[in-house]
Every structure is written in C-alpha cells, then in structure tokens.
A = this chain, B = another copy of it.
C-alpha cells in the first residue's frame, strides 16, 4: 500500500502516520518529493487495509498495491483450474457449450430443448426455474416444478444441468436437482449467498454483475473459494454502458484480462449480453478466439412461444448452424 500525503502536510503530520503504522506493526518507507510525500507501507496486508488512513486530513490518497483477492489469483495457483461435471471437463484447453431455454416452461419444451442441445454438441443444459424479472408482472418461473423438469431433461439426454439459485433459502433445494449452481448477475454481490455456495461441493457458475469491475467479480469468486468450494466458473454477460443498441456491452477484453489475473475458467453469455439473436453466433466465435473456456447460449424450440427473452433465443436451426461453426473453429484452434 502507498499513502500519498496532502501537499503541505507538516513533518508532524507525516510522523503521525508513520507512528500509526509502527503501532500496527507495519513498516513505513518515506519518500519526500518536491510537492508530495509518499509513504510505502510494508506488512500484513489485511492489517493494512483495516487502518482508516483516509480519515486523517493529512492523507490525500491511499493506493492499494496488491490485488485484493488471493485464492482466485494466478499467484496463489499458477495452473488453470479444471472442473469436472460428470464426464464434462470445464477449462484446461477445452471449449464447452452450455445451451438451453431462458426458462423452463413445460416438460415437452425442456426435454425437446435438451435433445436439440445434445445433438448439436452442447455439453451442458441450461434452463431457469427461478427467474429474476425486472417486473413483478412478468413470468417468474415454475420454481421447484421447473427443477424437476430439468432433472427429467437430464434423465432423457444425460446432459448435466446448470440452473440459477435466485434465493439463498433455495440453495439446498437447487443443489438436489442441479449439477452446476448458477449465480445471476444481480446476485454477484449477494455475499451471504456466495458464502452458502462456498460450502457446497458442486460447481458454481458466477455471472459478472452488470456494473461490476473485473476486480469486484474476482472478489465475489473469492467469497466462494474462501469457504472451501474451489469449483468456480466465471461467466461474463455484458456490462451496462451508454450504448443502447445492445442490451448490455459484452466486455470481451475481460476474457484475456481475467485469464492473466486468475486460474479460474471463464465463460461468456452472448445472449444476455446483447439481447439480440443475430449477434449470438459471431460473439460465440469471438469468445472462443479470445480464449474463453466456453459459452452459455439461449435456444428455444419455438422462440415465438417463449415466456421469456424470445428475441434473444436461437431457433433450433440457428443453434445447429452456430454449433457447426463453433465446433470447426474449436477444432482448428486445438480446443475441441
């Protein structure tokens, strides 16, 4: 940590901060420049972060030097994390497609979707039983019945199931039916849910909050890791910007950036990122080329009947054609 003293801070004020540091068992390196004095702080980082230096008038700025996450960092673990979901390998050079409808609507719809997904080459099946909807007047999902239908789809196709835990009180319930527990963007900083999921032994797919920095996202992963669950899959799903042509702005740079900082696998959800069906295939290819470990896309057997997000769902034909392109490219890049 580096403490920048205010211009004109007196000798005594500087000494006050140095004394405070020593008192906490920290080491202080003072550099006096022409306009500012800067103090480098060395010592136990958690300790350092708890001292409210900025409550001192003489302190202008406190600049953290270390990344605030540890278990999620490359420095903690150099090797990329590889996660097994049944027979499916996530990370470690593979490229995995998760597909399925936005929400579970009926047994027929969900089983049909899962079949189409499997046949076209998807390795996991997604579907929402609990739906976070901006409006209380919109369809909120089938709930537990939806979970049962997802399990039916798995029975029929063998595809492991990814589904969202919307409420911390449902962790146990969703755990019983799902193979991968999803944290939605709106819950990325629901810290108590993250802790609960950190105590489970199933993988967690952690979506990036729509206004979360990459650092905040990795801190959210840290909450899960810290409780003992090391199976965290990150999923970029678009951030909020001034651009209104797409629902959100897919932050493609986050893929290589996160891979530089962290060992965790990174997925991309282009369906929610854009809200526009036609943009999904090119962005899947881009995600693959940029180094993502997989994508999660929405597909519906009959988008015109979808109860949710019909305009971003691929049709079965659109999905198959995209899967062909993705599969060919993945093979070419040695990511098959």
Residues of A within 8 A of B (CB): 2, 4, 7, 29, 31-36, 38, 40, 42-43, 46, 49-50, 52-56, 63, 65-66, 68-69, 75, 132-140, 166-169, 186-187, 189-192, 195, 209-211, 213-216, 219, 222-223, 226, 239-246, 249-257, 260, 270, 273-274, 276, 278-279, 282-283, 285-291, 303-307, 310-311, 313, 329, 332-333
- B49 pairs with A137, CB closer than 8 A: yes
A34: min CB distance to chain B, Å: 7
A286 to B289, CA, bound (A): 5
How far apart are A281's CB and chain B's nearest CB, in angstroms?
A: 8
Complex contact A241–B244 (CB within 8 A): no
Known: A4-B65, A63-B2. A134 touches B189 (CB 8 A): yes
Distance of A243 Cα from B210 Cα, bound (Å) = 11
Other A-B contacts than A29-B31, A134-B189, 8 sampled, CB-CB below 8 A, are A33-B42, A49-B135, A54-B310, A56-B304, A169-B192, A240-B240, A256-B278, A256-B279
Q: Are A222 and B282 in contact (CB under 8 A)?
A: no
CA distance A204 to B333 in the complex (A): 34
A250 to chain B, nearest CB (A): 5
Whole-angstrom CA separation of A32 from B311 in the bound complex: 24
| Pairwise interchain contact B54-A36, C-beta atoms closer than 8 A | no
A278 to B215, CA, bound (A): 18
7 smallest A-B Cβ distances: which pairs? A52-B310, A54-B311, A211-B211, A31-B40, A55-B310, A55-B303, A289-B289
Shortest distance from the beta carbon of A80 to any chain B beta carbon, whole Å: 15
Choice from B49, B241, B310 contacting A249 with Cβ under 8 Å: B241
B138 and A49 within 8 A (CB):
yes
Q: A52-B304, A257-B279 are in contact. Are A65 and B33 (CB under 8 A)?
A: yes
Closest residue of chain B to A36, judged by CB? B65
Distance A239 CA – B242 CA, assembled complex (angstroms): 9
**Closest approach, in angstroms, between the C-beta of A69 and any C-beta of chain B?**
8
Selected A-B contacts with CB under 8 Å, 15 pairs: A7-B75, A29-B40, A38-B40, A68-B135, A135-B219, A166-B192, A209-B211, A211-B242, A214-B243, A239-B249, A241-B241, A250-B253, A252-B283, A257-B276, A329-B332
The distance from the CB of A258 to the nearest CB of chain B, in whole angstroms, is 9
